[in-house]
Amino acid sequence: MIVLVVNCGSSSLKYQLVNMDNEEVMAKGLVEKIGLPDSQLTHKWNGQKKEIKQSIPDHKVAVKLVLDILTDAECGVIKSMDAIDAVGHRVVHGGEEFAASTLITDEVMKALEKCSAMAPLHNPPNIIGINACKAIMPGVPQVGVFDTAFHQTMPAKAFMYGLPYELYTEDHIRRYGFHGTSHRYVAGEVAKVMGVPVEKLRIINCHLGNGSSLAAIKYGKCVDTTMGFTPLAGVLMGTRCGDIDPAIVLNVMDNHNLSTKEMDTLMNKKSGVLGISGVSSDFRDLGEAAKEGNERAQLALDMFHYQVRKEIGAFAAAMGGVDVITFTAGVGENGIEDRAAIAEGLEYLGAKLDPQRNDVRGKDALISTDDSTVKMYVIPTNEEIMIARDTKEIVSKQ
């Protein structure tokens, strides 16, 4: 079975074509700046790369372009569009309606539209992507895989906020959590690497990238996570503030006469390690600036490492202990010094980092000492393969 994995952002479309007989990635690419003046497609296949710069006014044109290049005589990998058996879509918000991936039907589309109110930045482009694929590939089954689904096992004591109860029952305000597909993948993968069933492990997964979240995964089920009603909550991130006293929002809006949109931009785009350092949202830039003596860059890094470490402690308490701590995503997979700084002071928990083993990037690796009672691993995430696997499983059952 050949599955096309699609991840649509507001002006981008990432894709992967996966042969599910052997999970081989046949081709992948990115369409950028959809609807903007300098839109382009970057396509990679068989170790080769091609860039096409042309006008791409909307997602439908983007999907068409992707299908054209996948079937192109020179850089294509399939003869015709008919070779694609199914399409798997990343969908950011599935609300409480979706606790698992699902075949997209008209009913599902209606439910997705409802979820858009809760994720106005993320869900609409996902829906546009699904509609574009449905229009261009009618009859090809489409599957939705939700960032929120894995977290639906959280108990109410973890997902409820201390607000009037009606805000939950009527406005659906609660913790949803995000990066669920990544957390689910890493939990399964570390269990495989350790040779222990996931049902026997208490895992704290640290997904640390531009956006960061931690998840407490007890015996295969998510019991808590740091992101909340939106992906703005939790540890501070590249440009997002993470958890702050909610009264600050009112205070800053009043004092600076900001609209809700302006406040939203301040918290989502101008905060986090960028806001603290004034240097960059990129952890590599911050590391370099800190080494050159930039104190605010160092402060931003210190805050990030401290907050991640604090959440690890919180999740160990939430699960009554922890067996394994995993690091994934850009910073988690590559940030050797970041992992070392986070792990500093976790010895009390029984987690001891091995500096030699920690000198590793971008591959499955044990990074704790042999006598560390809590194991630590680097596990590169792979959300696309999860989407492709779910798509195959759901479509095979039809």
Smaller CB distance to ligand AMP: residue 179 or 202? 179
330 binds ligand AMP, rule: CB under 6 A: yes
380 binds ligand AMP (CB under 6 A): no
What single-letter amino acid sits at 92? V
**Residue 389 marked ligand-binding:** no
**Interacting stretch for ligand AMP, rule CB under 6 A, among 63-71, 91-99, 282-290, 316-324?**
282-290
What's the rounded Cα separation, in Å, for the pair 313 and 315?
6
Beta strand segments in the chain, E? 2-8, 13-19, 24-32, 40-45, 48-53, 86-91, 102-103, 142-146, 202-208, 212-218, 221-225, 324-328, 365-366, 375-378
229: Cβ–Cβ under 8 A, 6 or more apart, which residues?
A: 118, 161, 173, 174, 175, 176
What's the burial of 50, exposed, middle or buried (CB within 10 Å: 0-12/13-18/19+)?
A: middle
Residue 192 binds ligand AMP (CB under 6 A): no
9 touches ligand AMP (CB under 6 A): no
Annotated catalytic residue: which of 82, 106, 147, 359? 147
Nearer to ligand AMP, 242 or 335 (CB): 335
Shortest spacing between CB 285 and ligand AMP, in angstroms = 7
Among 334, 358, 372, 382, binds ligand AMP (CB under 6 A): 334
Site for ligand AMP contains 182 (CB under 6 A) = no
The number of residues that bind ligand AMP (CB under 6 A) is 12
Does the annotation list 14 as a binding residue? Answer: yes
Q: Where do the H-state alpha helices sit in 13-122?
A: 59-70, 106-116
Asked if 178 touches ligand AMP (CB under 6 A), the answer is no
Query: In terms of Cα–Cα distance, which of 199, 128, 146, 126 is closest to 394?
Result: 146
Choose, by CB under 6 A, the member of 45, 98, 146, 283 that binds ligand AMP. 283
Could you give the strand order of the β-sheet that contains 40-45, starting from the edge strand earlier in sequence? 48-53, 40-45, 24-32, 13-19, 2-8, 86-91, 142-146, 102-103
Member of 31, 77, 191, 329 binding ligand AMP (CB under 6 A) = 329
Shortest reach from residue 68's CB to ligand AMP, in Å: 28
Q: Which of residues 210-249 bind ligand AMP (CB under 6 A)?
A: 210, 238
Given 76, 95, 234, 335, the residue binding ligand AMP (CB under 6 A): 335
Residue 147 annotated as catalytic = yes
Nearest 5°: the CA angle 53, 59, 65 is 45
- What is the rounded CA–CA span in Å between residue 253 and residue 179? 29
Residues annotated as catalytic are 147
Q: Which residues bind ligand AMP (CB under 6 A)?
A: 209-210, 238, 282-284, 329-331, 334-335, 338
Instruction: Please report, in range form, the residues annotated as the binding site for substrate.
Output: 90
Instruction: Please report, in range form, the residues annotated as the binding site.
Output: 7, 14, 90, 207-211, 282-284, 330-334, 383
